[in-house]
C-alpha cells in the first residue's frame, strides 16, 4: 500500500524526518546542519542585542557617536568595513575557525549600526519593531518548512528578489537626494519589509535543500542579514507613523 503524505495524522516523524519529497540525503545530517545554523544565528542576534544595547543605553557612547564629528566618522568607518569584510567572509566561509572570527566581526559592525538606528527612535517604537520582526520571522520560518515538506520550492524567487533589492537600493538613493518626508520613509519601509520577508523564505528554503554541510557560515549570515534588514524596514515604517 502506497504511503499517502496527505493522510490524516501526517507529520514530520512519519517519513523518518524527511524535510521534502524526494529527499536523497541523510535527514539526520541535514537536521544537524539546520540546528547548527540556527545556533549560530541565535548567537549573532544575541550579540546584536548586546552591542546595540550598549550603544543605546550607555550615555557617553551614545552622545559621542551621535553628537561629535569623531563619532560620525567612526560610524561611517564601520559601514565601510562592513562591506569590506564581506569579501574575506565569502572567501574563508569554509575555513574554520577563521570563518567564525570574521562572522563575529561582521556581526559586531552590523550591530553598531543597528544600535545607532535604535538610538534615534523611542523605546516604544524599537520594542514594537522587535516584536513584529520576531513574529514575522517565526511565522515565515514555520511556513517555509511546511511548504518544503508539502513539495513547494522557492528557488524561482531568486531573480525577483535580486531585482527588487536593486529597486529598493535606487529608491533609497533617491530618498537621500530628494527626501519625501514621512510618507517616503513609510513607503521605503513597506517595500523593504516585503522584499526581506521574501528573502527569509528563499534563504530558509535554501537552508533546507541546497546549502552544503560546510556552508553554515554562509547560511547563518544570509538569514541574519534578512532578519536585520526586516527589522530596519519595520522600524522605518513605524518611524513614518510616529
Give me the pLDDT at residue 126, please.
92
3-class SS at 133? Answer: helix
Query: Band of the pLDDT at 12, cuts 50, 70, 90?
Result: very low
| Cα dist from 122 to 44, 115, 125, 149, whole Å | 24, 12, 5, 41
Query: Considering all CA atoms of the chain, what is the largest pairwise distance in Å, rounded to the nearest integer?
Result: 74
Give me the pLDDT at residue 241, please.
57
Q: What angle do CA 135, 141, 145 make, to 5 degrees?
A: 150
* Mean pLDDT computed over 124-143: 96
> Is pLDDT above 60 for 16?
no
Report yes or no on whether pTM surpasses 0.85.
Answer: yes
Query: Band of the pLDDT at 182, cuts 50, 70, 90?
Result: confident
**Rounded (10°) angle between helices 69-91 and 98-119:** 150
| Cα dist from 151 to 18, 24, 70, 236, whole Å | 11, 14, 53, 35
Query: Band of the pLDDT at 4, cuts 50, 70, 90?
Result: very low
Is the pLDDT higher at 24 or at 242?
Answer: 24
Query: Rounded mean pLDDT of the chain?
Result: 88
The total number of residues shown for the chain amounts to: 242
Measured distance CA(205)–CA(199) in Å, rounded: 10
Residues 6+ away with beta carbon under 8 Å from 96: none
* Mean pLDDT computed over 139-160: 95
Least confident of 11-25, 44-58, 81-95: 11-25
Query: Band of the pLDDT at 7, cuts 50, 70, 90?
Result: very low
Query: Band of the pLDDT at 242, cuts 50, 70, 90?
Result: low
pLDDT 10s digits, 116-125: 889 888 889 9
* Mean pLDDT computed over 209-213: 93
Query: Band of the pLDDT at 3, cuts 50, 70, 90?
Result: very low
Amino acid at each position: 500500500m502506497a504511503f499517502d503524505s496527505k493522510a490524516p495524522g501526517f507529520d514530520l516523524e512519519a517519513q523518518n524526518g524527511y524535510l521534502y519529497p524526494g529527499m536523497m540525503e541523510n535527514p539526520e545530517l541535514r537536521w544537524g546542519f539546520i540546528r547548527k545554523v540556527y545556533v549560530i544565528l541565535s548567537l549573532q542576534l544575541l550579540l546584536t542585542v548586546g552591542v546595540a544595547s550598549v550603544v543605546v543605553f550607555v550615555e557617553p557612547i551614545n552622545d559621542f557617536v551621535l553628537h561629535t564629528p569623531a563619532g560620525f566618522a567612526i560610524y561611517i568607518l564601520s559601514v565601510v568595513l562592513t562591506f569590506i569584510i564581506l569579501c574575506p567572509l565569502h572567501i574563508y566561509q569554509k575555513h574554520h575557525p577563521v570563518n567564525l572570527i570574521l562572522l563575529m566581526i561582521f556581526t559586531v559592525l552590523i550591530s553598531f549600526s543597528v544600535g545607532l538606528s535604535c538610538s534615534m527612535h523611542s523605546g516604544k517604537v524599537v520594542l514594537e519593531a522587535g516584536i513584529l520582526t520576531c513574529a514575522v520571522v517565526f511565522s515565515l520560518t514555520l511556513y517555509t518548512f511546511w511548504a518544503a515538506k508539502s513539495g513547494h520550492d522557492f528557488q524561482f524567487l531568486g531573480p525577483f528578489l535580486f531585482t527588487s533589492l536593486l529597486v529598493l537600493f535606487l529608491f533609497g538613493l533617491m530618498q537621500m537626494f530628494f527626501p519625501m518626508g514621512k510618507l517616503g520613509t513609510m513607503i521605503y519601509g513597506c517595500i523593504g519589509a516585503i522584499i526581506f520577508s521574501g528573502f527569509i523564505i528563499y534563504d530558509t528554503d535554501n537552508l533546507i535543500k541546497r546549502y552544503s554541510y560546510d556552508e553554515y557560515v554562509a547560511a547563518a549570515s544570509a538569514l541574519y542579514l534578512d532578519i536585520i534588514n526586516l527589522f530596519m524596514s519595520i522600524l522605518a515604517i513605524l518611524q513614518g507613523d510616529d
